[in-house]
C-alpha cells in the first residue's frame, strides 16, 4: 500500500536586527555556497546604532564549500575593521 507523503511546510524564523550601543559599529557578515562544494559568495555590512550603512562588501568566491565561504567573509571583515 502506498501512502501519500506531503512535504513538510518550511519553518520561518523571523530575525530582527538589533542596534549596537551608542558610538559602536555593528558588523554582520555571511557566507554561503550553492552545493557543498559549489558556487559561493560572502558579504558584510557595517552599521551604526541608527542602522546607517557605514560600508559593505560582497564577493563571489567561485567554487568553494560553505565553511570556507563563512570563514573568508569573517577574515575579510576583520581586515576591514
Tens-place pLDDT, residues 14-67: 989 999 999 999 999 999 999 989 999 999 999 999 999 999 999 999 999 999
User: Which pLDDT belongs to residue 2?
Assistant: 60
In angstroms, the Cα distances linking 32 to 4, 18, 48 are: 34, 22, 25
CATH no. of 26-80: 3.30.420.10
Q: What are the cell numbers at 33?
A: 555556497
Output the pTM of the full model: 0.72
Q: How confident is the model at residue 3 (pLDDT cuts 50, 70, 90)?
A: low
**What is d(CA 33, CA 18) in angstroms, rounded to the nearest whole number?**
26
Amino acid at each position: 500500500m502506498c501512502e501519500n507523503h506531503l512535504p513538510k511546510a518550511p519553518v520561518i524564523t523571523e530575525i530582527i536586527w538589533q542596534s549596537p550601543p551608542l558610538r559602536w559599529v555593528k558588523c554582520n557578515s555571511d557566507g554561503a555556497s550553492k552545493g557543498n562544494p559549489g558556487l559561493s559568495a560572502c558579504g558584510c555590512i557595517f552599521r551604526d546604532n541608527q542602522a546607517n550603512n557605514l560600508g559593505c562588501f560582497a564577493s563571489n568566491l567561485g567554487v568553494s564549500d560553505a565553511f570556507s565561504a563563512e570563514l573568508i567573509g569573517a577574515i575579510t571583515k576583520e581586515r576591514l575593521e
